[in-house]
Each structure stands twice: as C-alpha cells, then as structure tokens.
A and B are shown apart, each in its own frame.
Chain A
Amino acid sequence: MKLGSLSRRLGLAAMAILFVAACGSSSTAAGATNWATTTSASAGGGMAALVAAAKAEGQLNVIALPPDWADYGDLISGFTAKYGIPINSVNPNGSSQQEVDAFDGTPNAPDVVDVGQAVALNNTAKFAPYMVSTWGDIPAGAKEPTGLWFNDYGGYMGIGYDSSKVPTITAVSDLLGAAFKGKVALSGDPTKSNQGLNGVIMAGIASGGTLDDVSKGVAFFHSLKQAGNYVPVVCTAATVKAGQTPVCFEWDYLSASHGKDVSTWKIFVPTTAIIGGYYSQAINKAAPHPAAARLWEEYLYSDAGQNFWLKGGARPVRMAAMTSAGTINATYAAALPQVPGTPQVPTGAQTAAASSYVVANWSQAVS
C-alpha cells in the first residue's frame, strides 16, 4: 500500500515535470517580430527593438573564438558589458568545418559562425540572410548579395617561428632542413580549418605552384612528414608558449599575438607567396537565439567592433570606409604587420577547388 501511494506520487511528479518542460519552450507573443527571418535591423523595427529582443533571449552561443584571435576576447567582453547578454563560447580552437558541423538542431548549437571562405560557400543552405546597418561599407566582392555571409576581417599567411629555437627562415624550403626536425606544425587540419588550408596553399605557391593547383602544397607537407619535421599537433597559443610547436603556419595577426607570449617569436612571409584571406560571418538559420545573433553582428560591424579586430592585428573589412571617415583607430592601424609585396587572394572558386583536393589527398600525404 505504501509502495502504491508512493508510485502514484512519483507518477504525478513525473507528469508534472514533463508538463513544465513542455510549457517551458518559449512562445512568441502575437504580432512580435520573428527575428529568425528578419533580414535587417530596420526591417525588424529598429535597433532598439533588436536590443530588447536580444536581451529577452538572454544568451548568445558562439563557437571557435579563441580570446587571443584577432582580439575576440575584447569583443566578447565588450558585447556582454554593453548589452548585458552573456556569451557561451565553446570549442575555442575548433575549425571552420567543426563550426557548421555543430549546427545539430539542438538549443546548444551556435547562433553565429566565423568561418573560412570554402566552408561559407559550401553551407549557404544553413545560413539566414541578414544585412548589418553598415552593409554599404563592405566591398561588393566581400559579401554574398542577399546577406547569407559577409567577410569580417583578414590577414596574410605567414610562418611564425621562435628564433631562439630555430635558425632564421628565409624561404619556405628551409623548413625541410635538419634544423627543423619535429618542429613544424600547421594551425589547423587543412581538411577542416581555413587557416590550415591557406597554410597549404601558401606552401604550394612558395614551392612553385599556383592558386589553381594546390598539389605542390600537399606534396610539400608530405616531404615535411618524410623528413620527420612535421608535428601532428595543432599549433595554438598553448603549444607555442610551451615550446611544442616552434614553427607554425599561421595568420600574421596570430603571430603578432604569439609575440606577446614568446618574446623571440618572429614571422616570415615569403615575398613570392603572400596569401591573403578573409573570414566570413554567417548566422545559423536555426539559431537558438536569433535576435541575439543579429545584435552580435551589428556589434561586430560597428566602429567599435571593427577597431577591436584592428587591435588584434587583423584588417577589418570596413577599413577603407572607416579610414576615409576618420573613425579608424590610427594607433592600431600603424601597428599592423607589414606586407612585403603584392598579395594574392584566392577566389571562392579557387579555395573550394583547393579544399576538395586537400580533402581527398591529405590523409594519404601525411599518414
């Protein structure tokens, strides 16, 4: 009898929990803007409405944004300080591919992503179009016309190295030498990471290839592995600081931030192979917090946001427009890493082709 009444009570409790959970899902009030399909702040009722809706959502999910990457640390804390919306930042060293792979339809999925060109072009079906207020300042080639993705900041691919551990690098082919045994790393898996892919492209061009043919790049890393110089570890702030990866293929703005951790850190950009690359912002079509996602984009493309990226050593996409308008931070602009020549920037098609080649041949080359 006691067991019977107990189980009855448990059953009621279980039903109550399920009931509350079911009701817990938010319902939009009749007539309110559905921010998930709104394509600009003005279309949704203005910035004030956007801010209010974002605050009501209460959180923003981001992914793969290390704090020392183009000064995302300041951007994240700045956003939370300004709007009071906490940011849930997961998998800081994730790759571009992992970012879109995290769109798993659950409430833990990221709201926005910052990905490389190849991944952006491949996944437009998963994005929601949105045009930030400063849309006009973004050059035409740097954005998808309906707002599915838009470039945010860029830099140049270089080889960062600890000059106290390896000799000065004057050419990419130096890395095949005996002094670099077990020391050279990529900053991401080139089959998934934009940075890794551009590292391979750069190595390819420096070895005599072209933007349309990345096979020499993959062959270079194969030789690197054969020589015993390649380390199968992703080089990050931690591995650089700990000395695990004294030589690293990475963006120039990341080398700048590593220079703060390791005083002898230098960067080498080959004059024949200056590869420039931009990253792109995109909003998850099924974002758990659509208004917060859009507010974040507005923040990133505001003068304050763009200047934070500049502070991190990257070149923000609105730089030309802001320089004419005088809103660019001159100190940060002057501190940008130097570029020793004319850069080459792979087009979307070239990056996509390079990516397919690498995906098909990388495992074989470095196994």
Chain B
Amino acid sequence: MGAVPFFAYVGLFLLLPTAIIVVGSFFTKDGTFTLANFSDINKPYIIKSFTNSLIISSVSAVVGAVVGAVLAYAVVTGNPNGILRRLVTSAAGVLAQFGGVALAIAAIATLGSAGFVTQFLLDRGINIYANGLWIYDPPGIILVYLYFQIPLMVLVFLPALDGLRPQWREATESLGGSTWHYWRHVAGPLLAPSFLGCTLLLFANAFSAYATVAALLTQGGVYITLEIQNLLTSETEQTQPGLAQALALTMIVIVVIVMSLYTLLQRRTSKWLQ
C-alpha cells in the first residue's frame, strides 16, 4: 500500500538500530542472555559519568527554565505583533540551534583562558580563574549549556503564556485580588504543568547533548555521552561490546521517561490554555 515505503524506511533506520541496541545490551557475542553488561555499569567512573550528566542536566534545566520563563513573560507582556516579539522569537529560534562545535568554540573564544571576556577582566585586575579553570568543570559546562537552554525555554513556554487570557487577570482584580493573588491562585496553577513539562524537556535536551561537551573537552571528560563515544571507538569495545549498548539503552530509557512525563504535562496544559 502507499504507506509501505515509509514504514519500511523507518523500520530499517530507526527501529532496527534500537533493536540492535536492546539485543546487544542483553546478549553476549555468543548469543547467550546476560545481565552482565548492566552490572558493568557499576564501575566507579561510569557511575560518576551518570551522576555528572544528571547534575549538569538538572541544573541547566532548572536555571534555564526560570530565566527563560522570565524572559518569555517579558516578551509576552508586550505587543503580540510587535517588533520586539518577532526579534526575540527569531533570535531564540536561532540560538536554540546554538550548540555543538560552534558553541564550544564560542565558549573558548569568550571564557577560555585566552578568551575575550577573560582577558578583558584580567586587564582590569579580575582573574576569574584564580581558583582553577572552572570552565571545563561542571559549573562551566552548565553555563555553556544555558546558551541553548534559555532560548529553548522561551520557544516552548511562550505558547503557554500566550494562553493566559487577560480576562482572567481582570476578573481577579475585579474580585479584589492583587498581583500576588493572581499568580498564586490563577496563573500559577495553570502554568505549573507546562512549566514543569518544559523543564523536563530542557533536562532531556541537556542529558542527550554530546557535540558541545565533546568539542569542549577534547581530552575527554566524565560525562555519559562521552563515555559512550569512548566505548564505541576504543578497543575495550572488542572485549566489552555490550557495555556501549547497555549505556545507550539506559540513556534511552531515562529520556523516554522524561519525554513521556513532558507529553502528559503538555496535554494537561493544553486543556486549559487552548
């Protein structure tokens, strides 16, 4: 039928790789079922990579969500068809793409040890790296991630803010409520599911990120996406072929859970804010 080419293609290039990952995680090279690959995850540096990745994803998601929400609100209170809004949404659209190699290069150019801002501050007597080169540590990575997290938040949260009807605000005020009441009892509860959902989206985004941290930490770092890359291309792959698949499967499961929660929360929001 007409839909066959589509299903065939997707089956080959999306479902088959996923199946390969699942099979590879649970079976050894000889074909015997095993859970050894998952117990291998217990190694200290792999646990540390998961922890690091989870930390930078959560922090950059929460901070990005808060700053992005504030920025989105600042835009939404203006003219819906005005220049400001178009400018910010276009810029946000572009900056949400701002990732990977280009972002790593920009980070070095701005805040690297020879970067523009670093030198600028040094010339004025402020050494931001007096206590160590934190740009390559989790704090630095979080800062770099914010550069695409905040625009992403603006883009995905804006529709929810748009859904807030001005009549609700007027109704609150006419009933004697203040701004605080409005936010606490009307807008807050309405926006909460969407805000939470968008934060989860940001989390999944940061957790899956590979290109940025790979291009920044060329000497390697303890993050789960870099570990997968390490396993895929190193000789340990020969002796431990299932470990990369097990890690990949774990990542997929985490992201699937997060994205399902996101979808559920978005559905709740859309009921009210359509």
* A residues with CB within 8 A of B: 93, 97-98, 100-101, 122, 181-183, 185-186, 189, 191-192, 228, 231-234, 242-244, 246, 363-364, 367
Nearest chain A residue, comparing its CB with the CB of B237: A101
Contact across chains for A228 and B114 when beta carbons are under 8 A apart: no
| Shortest distance from the beta carbon of A284 to any chain B beta carbon, whole Å | 16
Question: Which of B45, B112, B220, B233 has most chain A Cβ within 10 Å?
Answer: B220
Q: In the docked arrangement, what's the CA distance between A364 and B44, Å?
A: 8
| Shortest distance from the beta carbon of B224 to any chain A beta carbon, whole Å | 13
Contact across chains for B129 and A242 when beta carbons are under 8 A apart: no
The proximity string for B residues 190-230 relative to A, scoring 1 for CB distances below 8 Å and 0 otherwise, is 00000000000000000000000000011111100000000
Contact across chains for B132 and A232 when beta carbons are under 8 A apart: no
| A185 partner, pick from B114, B131, B219, B220, beta carbons under 8 A | B219
Interface pairs A-B: 4 shortest CB-CB: A228-B132, A182-B133, A243-B114, A363-B45
Question: Which of A98, A182, A234 has most chain B Cβ within 10 Å?
Answer: A182
The SS class assigned to the A binding surface is loop
* B residues with CB within 8 A of A: 44-45, 48, 108, 112-114, 129-133, 136, 217-222, 233-235
Pull 17 A–B residue pairs with CB atoms less than 8 Å apart, ordered by A: A98-B233, A101-B235, A181-B129, A181-B133, A183-B113, A185-B219, A192-B234, A228-B132, A228-B133, A231-B219, A232-B219, A232-B220, A233-B219, A242-B108, A244-B112, A244-B114, A367-B48
| A234 partner, pick from B113, B133, B219, beta carbons under 8 A | B219
Contact across chains for B217 and A232 when beta carbons are under 8 A apart: yes
Q: In the docked arrangement, what's the CA distance between A231 and B217, Å?
A: 9
If the complex has contacts A189-B219, A367-B45, are A243 and B235 also in contact, measured as CB distance less than 8 A? no
If the complex has contacts A101-B233, A181-B129, A231-B136, are A242 and B218 also in contact, measured as CB distance less than 8 A? no
If the complex has contacts A233-B217, A233-B219, A243-B113, are A182 and B129 also in contact, measured as CB distance less than 8 A? yes
Question: Which of B44, B131, B133 has most chain A Cβ within 10 Å?
Answer: B133
Nearest chain B residue, comparing its CB with the CB of A178: B130
Q: In the docked arrangement, what's the CA distance between A182 and B136, Å?
A: 10
The SS class assigned to the B binding surface is loop
Nearest chain A residue, comparing its CB with the CB of B132: A228
Nearest chain B residue, comparing its CB with the CB of A363: B45
| Shortest distance from the beta carbon of B141 to any chain A beta carbon, whole Å | 11
Q: In the docked arrangement, what's the CA distance between A185 and B218, Å?
A: 11
| A97 partner, pick from B45, B133, B235, beta carbons under 8 A | B235
Contact across chains for A189 and B131 when beta carbons are under 8 A apart: no
Contact across chains for B113 and A182 when beta carbons are under 8 A apart: yes
Nearest chain A residue, comparing its CB with the CB of B52: A367
Q: In the complex, what residues of B have CB within 8 A of residue A363's CB?
A: 45, 222
| Shortest distance from the beta carbon of B231 to any chain A beta carbon, whole Å | 11
If the complex has contacts A233-B217, A363-B222, are A228 and B131 also in contact, measured as CB distance less than 8 A? yes
Q: In the complex, what residues of B have CB within 8 A of residue A242's CB?
A: 108, 112, 114
| Shortest distance from the beta carbon of A168 to any chain B beta carbon, whole Å | 20
Q: In the docked arrangement, what's the CA distance between A183 and B44, Å?
A: 27
Q: In the complex, what residues of B have CB within 8 A of residue A98's CB?
A: 233
Nearest chain B residue, comparing its CB with the CB of A119: B235
Q: In the complex, what residues of A have CB within 8 A of residue B48's CB?
A: 367
| Shortest distance from the beta carbon of A144 to any chain B beta carbon, whole Å | 19
Q: In the docked arrangement, what's the CA distance between A97 and B230, Å?
A: 11
Q: In the complex, what residues of A have CB within 8 A of residue B217's CB?
A: 232-233
Contact across chains for A233 and B218 when beta carbons are under 8 A apart: yes
